[in-house]
Each structure stands twice: as structure tokens, then as C-alpha cells.
């Protein structure tokens, strides 16, 4: 019985063919897709649940500033992770092994997230009490969930690149799941602690189930063996390359460290695209890619700033509904990208009309929301909700399309990792700038914007 279970898994995980092309291993294909899906599903539900309760906390503590700081607390670990992951994660993998490292990152961390949900349910909430525990919990939750997407994508790419879409699908559906939990439990701003605990029970249960499922696959099957072998080879090759560079050219390595990534980007912006795919550093990267990365960072900073200021568009009920709409818009925007990838629209990159149109729509809708926040524009209650949903839906879709048509398709293979690192650094800086800008604006904006 054991051999009959392990055989299709071994056939799918070993050998040459990709899993999605193996017609004789349908159950193994489904198992791989499910494994990649649950790697991101539970953590996304946990973070989404924290965000979905912002309106409830605003009503409970009678504080709009708390909502802003809660958003800051749960998001600030993400840019820190983007900046440090390329240094810390390889060290962790070398110290304990690739297999153990990814088991801890993807399976055991889900159990920790589930325990955090239990701690959250038991955490006392007093209207006159300190709010520091709520903020500390947000930082801890963000720090625990930040590595999941990066680790899941790496494992999925090592298994079969076509499986990456299931990691994105898990994150997408996980973002929308708390909205359903809030609606079915009736957890509105005036609800009691019982409804809040029902909402938190959903991510706790999902994370425990995901942990058990991934642990079973890791310990009892060979489904991840090929992926781990490939990741070990990549880790060892990068270690040898780094070591040989350090011994052969220490002075060049020292000089390279003195060149900032910002200077490299600014230098690359002024270069012309070469007609060769040879490895010539930044000269092989098309100029428009640098402009898209900068534009994407600026847009992401503004998007996050507007999102963090959701509590200043109205009362706690408005905050609650805008937060839920933002979660739905994020999931819908990613879903739209999955649909577009099945069409030929992306073949018109790099500067095709869809991305440019989405960018102008993004600027227009963002200007309307900024005018509303400043009291210059006073839309109706329903129109503000439509405007808010359309802005975040368009921003997520346009940002994802930009990423799909830059580092994924039009960067030479030798420079793909470097461009991805620069893009991640820009994203991290834009997140910190957006959150900092929101904190600055909150100190000067009125507590309520009158919505006619």
C-alpha cells in the first residue's frame, strides 16, 4: 500500500519530464499543485484577517491613529525582509541544510502562525488599556508571514515553473478569505469579541491543516526531492562562485561593494539598449525597464499611503468597508492577471497600451482619492466605494503586469537576478516611503472627511 502511494509521487518528482506534462501521474500533479497552493494560502488568510479587523479596532479603541499604526506594524517587516533575505536565508540554508530550512519556513512556520492566532484570541482587549500589545502582535505576525511567498516561489520554480501560478493563487484566495469570514460571522465594528474570535478561528484552522499536509508530504513522500536537490545545487554553486571571486579578486570585490545599487540604476537609465544578448552587465538591460521599475516604486508608495489612510475617509463603518473592499480588489486584480496571462495581450510588451492606460487610470483615480482626503472633492458614499475598489484593483493589476513584462521576459538571463534584486530594493524603499508619508499626512489631516 505504501509503495502504491509513493510510486506516482516518485515518478513525478524524479526524472526529466515536468510534472505538468506527465499524463500518467494525474494524482501526483494534483498533489504538487495543492502543496504549492497551501504554502501561501494560510499565511495570506492570517494577514488578511488582521487587516480585516482594522475597523473593529477603530471602533473599540475610538482611535483612527491606531488603525494607521496597525497597518504600519503588520507591513513594516515586509520591506525589511526584502532587504535582508538574500543575506540571511542562504546562511540559514547552509547551516541546517536546504531540506530542513524549507521545512521550517513552509511547514513549521504555519504552526507558529496558528499559535499566534490562538494568542490573539486570548489576548485581552480593554478600551482604556494599552494598545502596544496589538501593535506588537502585528509586527510579529508580519515577520512570520513575510518569507512565505519568496520561499514558496523558489520551491515551485524548482519543482516546475508552471506551478508558480498556484503560489500566486493561494495568496490571492487567502487575501479574499477573511472578507467571507467577516461577512458570515457578522463581525462589524459594533460586534463583540465572540465574532472576532470566529474570524480568527478561520486562519488558525487553515494554518494547522496546511502544516499537517505539508509535513506529511515532506516526511512521507518524495514529492519535494527533485526541488530540494536543485536548490542545493544552486546554493552550493553560488557559494563556490562567491568564494572564488573573493580569493581571485578581493580588490575588485571591495570596489564593487562601494558602488551603490542606486548609482547602478541611474547609470543604467542613461544607457542605450544593445542589440546583443551577451553578458555585458547593465548595458544589456533595456532602458525602459529601469523607468518601469522607478515608476512602479513611486506608484506603489502612493498606493500604500492611500491604503494606510483609509480610516480618514469617514467613520469606523467606512473604514471597515474600505478595508474589505481593498482586500477584494487585491484578490480580483491578481485574478485578472491570471486571466490575461492566458491571452496574447502580454505579447505586445514592453510598452503596450494596456499598461500605459492602466497607469493613467491609476493616476486619475489616485488624484480623486487624494482630493477626497483633502476635502476638495466630496463624492457620495457609494461612489467613494466604487472609486476605492477601482483604484486598488487597477493598481494591483497594473503593478503585476509591469513585473510580468520586465524581469520575467525582457531581461537577459545573466542579469535577471540583479534586476530582480534592484526591483525588490525599490519595492522595499517604496513601502517604507508610503508608510512614512501616511504617518506624516495623518498628523495634518482632519479626523473626518465629510461624505455627502
User: Global pTM?
Assistant: 0.79
Q: Where are the domains of the chain?
A: 27-234, 260-452
* Contact predicate 145/169, CB 8 Å: no
Burial of 325 (0-12, 13-18, 19+ CB in 10 A): buried
pLDDT by residue, tens only, the chain of 452 residues:
334 333 333 334 444 344 444 434 678 888 999 999 999 999 999 999 999 999 999 998 888 888 889 998 999 898 888 888 878 888 888 888 888 999 999 999 999 999 999 998 888 776 656 788 889 999 999 999 999 988 998 899 889 888 888 888 899 899 999 999 999 999 999 998 899 999 999 999 999 999 999 999 998 888 898 888 888 888 787 665 555 444 444 443 334 334 444 444 444 433 333 333 434 455 567 777 778 788 888 888 999 899 989 988 988 999 999 999 999 998 888 887 777 776 666 665 555 677 788 888 999 999 999 999 888 888 998 999 999 999 999 988 887 777 766 656 667 666 666 777 787 788 888 888 888 888 888 877 644 444 43
Angle between helices 26-52 and 109-122 (to 10 degrees): 30
Burial of 360 (0-12, 13-18, 19+ CB in 10 A): exposed
Domain 27-234: give its CATH superfamily.
MFS general substrate transporter like domains (1.20.1250.20)
To 10 degrees, the CA torsion angle through 243, 419, 88, 163? -110
Amino acid at each position: 500500500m505504501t509503495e502504491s502511494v509513493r510510486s506516482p509521487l516518485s515518478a513525478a518528482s524524479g526524472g526529466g519530464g515536468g510534472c505538468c506534462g506527465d499524463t500518467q501521474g494525474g494524482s501526483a500533479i494534483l498533489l504538487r499543485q495543492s502543496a504549492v497552493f497551501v504554502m501561501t494560502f494560510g499565511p495570506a488568510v492570517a494577514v488578511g484577517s488582521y487587516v480585516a479587523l482594522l475597523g473593529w479596532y477603530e471602533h473599540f479603541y475610538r482611535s483612527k491613529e491606531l488603525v494607521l499604526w496597525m497597518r504600519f506594524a503588520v507591513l513594516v517587516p515586509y520591506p525589511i525582509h526584502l532587504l535582508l533575505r538574500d543575506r540571511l536565508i542562504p546562511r540559514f540554508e547552509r547551516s541546517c541544510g536546504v531540506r530542513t530550512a524549507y521545512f521550517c519556513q513552509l511547514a513549521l512556520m504555519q504552526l507558529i502562525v496558528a499559535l499566534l492566532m490562538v494568542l490573539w484570541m486570548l489576548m485581552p482587549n480593554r478600551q482604556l488599556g494599552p494598545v502596544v500589545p496589538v501593535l506588537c502582535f502585528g509586527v510579529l505576525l508580519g515577520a512570520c508571514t513575510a518569507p512565505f511567498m519568496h520561499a514558496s516561489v523558489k520551491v515551485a520554480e524548482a519543482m516546475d515553473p508552471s506551478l508558480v501560478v498556484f503560489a500566486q493563487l493561494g495568496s490571492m484566495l487567502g487575501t479574499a478569505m477573511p472578507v467571507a469570514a467577516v461577512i458570515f460571522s457578522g463581525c462589524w465594528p459594533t460586534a463583540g469579541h465572540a465574532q472576532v474570535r470566529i474570524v480568527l478561528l478561520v486562519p488558525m484552522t487553515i494554518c494547522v491543516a496546511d502544516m499537517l499536509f505539508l509535513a506529511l508530504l515532506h516526511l512521507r513522500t518524495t514529492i519535494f526531492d527533485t526541488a530540494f536537490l536543485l536548490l542545493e545545487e544552486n546554493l552550493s554553486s553560488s557559494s563556490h562562485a562567491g568564494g572564488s571571486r573573493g580569493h581571485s579578486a578581493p580588490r575588485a570585490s571591495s570596489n564593487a561593494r562601494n558602488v551603490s545599487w542606486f548609482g547602478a540604476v541611474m547609470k543604467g537609465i542613461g544607457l542605450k539598449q544593445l542589440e546583443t544578448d551577451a553578458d555585458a552587465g547593465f548595458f544589456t538591460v533595456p532602458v525602459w525597464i529601469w523607468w518601469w521599475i522607478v515608476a512602479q516604486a513611486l506608484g506603489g508608495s502612493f498606493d500604500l499611503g492611500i491604503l494606510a489612510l483609509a480610516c480618514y475617509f469617514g467613520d469606523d463603518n467606512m473604514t471597515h468597508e474600505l478595508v474589505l473592499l481593498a482586500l477584494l480588489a487585491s484578490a480580483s486584480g491578481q485574478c485578472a492577471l491570471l486571466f490575461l496571462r492566458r491571452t496574447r495581450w502580454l505579447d505586445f510588451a514592453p510598452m503596450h497600451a494596456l499598461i500605459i492606460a492602466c497607469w493613467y487610470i491609476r493616476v486619475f483615480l489616485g488624484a480623486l482619492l487624494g482630493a477626497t482626503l483633502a476635502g476638495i472633492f466630496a463624492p457620495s458614499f457609494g461612489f467613494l466605494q466604487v472609486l476605492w475598489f477601482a483604484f486598488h484593483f487597477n493598481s494591483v493589476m497594473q503593478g503585476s503586469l509591469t513585473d510580468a513584462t520586465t524581469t520575467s521576459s525582457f531581461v537577459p538571463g545573466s542579469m535577471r537576478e540583479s534586476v530582480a534584486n534592484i526591483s525588490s530594493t525599490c519595492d522595499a524603499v517604496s513601502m517604507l516611503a508610503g508608510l512614512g508619508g501616511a504617518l506624516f499626512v495623518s498628523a495634518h489631516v482632519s479626523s473626518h472627511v465629510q461624505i455627502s
